[in-house]
């Protein structure tokens, strides 16, 4: 987990730095980030889930995600345009992975000690963020026109990010120390 958090911070800083200091379009940084970020979490959930049927669903989701990423790579300028289809597909598949993870927890004895499980808290944060942000991403990508409505979307987006990181922090605080 610390590696993906560090990678996220580095990506955000790199994207900000290139856009505002060098006035360069920074989409390539985020497009590559989408690939690594989503594949990381797909892998984590596939490894943690016991049910073979659920693992098969995640593998199918990974295949769909990679096909969409490759189509964006071929048909979308990676340097100038956001891979919105890749992002939306990745977010949707990640939400599915989280739901499968929750079902897996409910079917096991892990449900008794869930509050000390970092992945549970991270998945709650990710779930709430992506459920709220997928519609915002769709609206911002294909229906953008600057007005008060879009200022509200940015406020909602910021709130979702804050909520997600509060759940991450909760997970770190509840996590049992390992001896």
Please say if the pLDDT value at position 53 is more than 90: yes
Please say if the pLDDT value at position 153 is more than 50: yes
Per-residue pLDDT tens for 97-135? 999 999 999 998 877 778 788 899 999 999 999 999 999
CA distance 41 to 92: 12
Between residues 129 and 147, the one the model is more confident about? 129
89 φ/ψ angles, rounded to the nearest 5 degrees: -65, -45
pLDDT band at 24 (very low <50, low <70, confident <90, very high): low
pLDDT at position 177 is 56
- Residues of 83-112 as b/e, b for ≥16 C-beta within 10 angstroms? bbebbbbbbbbbbbbbebbbebbeeeebee
CA distance 12 to 107: 37
pLDDT at position 80 is 81
User: Considering the entire predicted model, what is its pTM?
Assistant: 0.85
Among all chains, which residue has been given the structure tokens 């998945």? 123
Among all chains, which residue has been given the structure tokens 């992002």? 87
User: Counting Cβ atoms within 10 Å, is residue 69 exposed (0-12), middle (13-18) or buried (19+)?
Assistant: buried
């Amino acid at each position: 987990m610390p590696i993906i958090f560090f990678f996220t911070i580095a990506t955000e800083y790199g994207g900000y730095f290139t856009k505002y200091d060098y006035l360069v379009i920074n989409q390539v940084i985020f497009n590559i980030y989408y690939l690594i970020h989503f594949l990381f979490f797909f892998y984590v959930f596939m490894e943690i889930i016991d049910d073979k049927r659920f693992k098969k669903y995640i593998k199918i989701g990974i295949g769909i995600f990679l096909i969409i990423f490759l189509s964006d790579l071929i048909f979308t300028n990676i340097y100038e345009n956001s891979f919105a289809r890749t992002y939306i597909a990745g977010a949707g598949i990640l939400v599915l992975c989280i739901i499968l993870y929750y079902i897996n927890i409910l079917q096991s004895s892990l449900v008794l000690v869930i509050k000390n499980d970092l992945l549970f808290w991270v998945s709650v944060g990710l779930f709430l963020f992506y459920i709220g942000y997928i519609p915002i991403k769709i609206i911002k990508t294909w229906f953008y026109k600057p007005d008060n409505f879009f200022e509200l979307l940015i406020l909602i987006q910021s709130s979702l990010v804050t909520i997600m990181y509060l759940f991450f922090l909760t997970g770190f605080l509840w996590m049992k120390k390992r001896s």
